[in-house]
Amino acid sequence: MKPTLFISDLHLSENHPEITRAFERFLSEQAVKAEALYILGDFFEAWVGDDDHSGFINHIKKLLRTLSDSGVTLFIMRGNRDFLIGKKFCAQVGATFLPDPSIITINNQRILLTHGDYLCTDDRAHQAFRRKADHPHLQKLFMLLPLFIRRYIADKMRHYSKQRQKTLKNYIDVNQTAVEELMAKHDILLMIHGHTHRPNTHEFELNNQKAKRIVLSDWDENYYFHEM
């Protein structure tokens, strides 16, 4: 039986060609042998709209399309860095758009998939940003701007995010109560997410049952994935 693979937080950009090379290796060495590949957000460092047809973006699209055409089922979820990825992009690469959160079943086990940033409820500034970013009217207004202005805004937002991370005294992780509430709501005992860049497997009790939360890794010159 072919495996199902999960990845997140590649933060692909022209500024980090080593990560693009790692993704190319991952596709040829691992993904091509899989039954399905789930990309759980922050695939790109920034995404300013499905109308971005730069050489770099087209290269990534071609890589994904080649994978899906080979028979691997591809799923893509938005992250906080690429929250404007839409169904048009997914259609171009042969992927299925995956809402956040989503529930899938593998080997009779139900699994909750999420990018993970909505679980960081203690980060009030980020949650305020996501409420604005998720607003459909604001997204439409943003998409009316010329592409070069959207790129400029995205660069400014990345710079602000990096500066904010430096000034935070304590790293803000997911809130365990938020995790348990979401899993209990959907009657789920296994969650997979990314976002925090803290790969680990957390085991805990939920409603007197053993539960597990798998955190995916971000990427560097090497690739990282979870297999089921």
Query: Could you tell me the residue ranges of all domains in the chain?
Result: 4-227
The CATH classification number of 4-227 equals 3.60.21.10
Give this prediction's pTM. Answer: 0.92
Ranked by mean pLDDT, the top range of 69-73, 158-162, 163-167 is 69-73
Output phi, psi for 26, to 5 deg. Answer: -60, -45
Ranked by mean pLDDT, the top range of 54-68, 117-131, 153-167 is 54-68
Q: Tens digit of pLDDT for each residue in 94-136?
A: 999 999 999 999 999 999 999 999 999 998 888 888 888 788 8
Output phi, psi for 103, to 5 deg. Answer: -120, 130
Q: What is the pLDDT of residue 202?
A: 97
Residues 6+ apart with CB under 8 A from 227: 3, 4, 5, 6
